[in-house]
Amino acid sequence: MPGKTSSSVKPCPICGKPHAYGPAKALQTQSQTPRRIAQTIQGLTTAQLKKRPAPGKWSISEVLHHLADCEIVYGVRTRLMLAERRPSLTPFDQDAWAVNLAYAKGDPKLAFQAFEAARRQNVANLRRISPAAWERTGLHAEYGNLKVIHLIRHLTEHDVSHLAQLAKVKAQIKGSRPAGGAQR
Ligand SMILES: [Zn+2]
């Protein structure tokens, strides 16, 4: 971003991109995500939510299940890091979870509600921790030493990219609606 001092923003140890979020900004952004998702998917039918935009591409419902499960995984990781001494953080294969947990057959409304509730509590937990606690670490098998702030910055960017994906999928499934098949 032009004009932005990027010298203090180091590359994310998870994805390599610089995420310019401090704790307060990250939590503020994260707290707004459920409402933004609700606005994006408002008015879509269950059939539309479960419609894949292309073969092999996640439907909105599958993205919602992914977000709900990420919130659990990241919630467990941050709790471990905050409560224990340098815990091991188990990697998870998001595509294997989507297939083996049959996200495609799931209820998008339930997934959204689960995400929203877990997110609300995770943000509330992180708003209570001391500034020093953001520096606590865990050991990830793939990414090495990760701090709480690293995870939360990365998760904030994850929100932003999935919100953009949801808007794109929505446009794609609406554009592909069969002629004469008015849904509402
Ligand atoms: Zn990242």
DSSP code per residue over 119-167: HHHHHHHHHHS-GGGGG-EEEETTTEEEEHHHHHHHHHHHHHHHHHHHH
* Token pair of 149 as six digits: 């702030």
pTM for this model (two decimals): 0.90
Structure tokens of 137?
Answer: 């670490």
Ligand 1 centroid to residue 121 C-alpha, Å: 22
Is residue 82 one of the residues assigned to a domain? yes
Q: What is the CATH number of the domain that holds 162?
A: 1.20.120.450
Separation of CA 161 and ligand 1 centre (Å): 11
Domain count, the chain: 1
pLDDT band, very low/low/confident/very high, at 3 (cuts 50, 70, 90) = very low
Residue 1 included in any domain: no
Compute the distance from residue 127 Cα to the ligand 1 centre, in Å: 21
Instruction: Report if residue 48 sits inside a domain.
Output: yes
Evaluate whether residue 182 is within a structural domain.
no
pLDDT, tens only, 89-120: 999 999 999 999 999 999 999 999 999 999 99
Distance 83 CA to ligand 1 centre (A): 23
**Structural domain contains residue 99:** yes
pLDDT at 175: 80
Q: How far is the CA of 30 from the centre of ligand 1 (A)?
A: 14
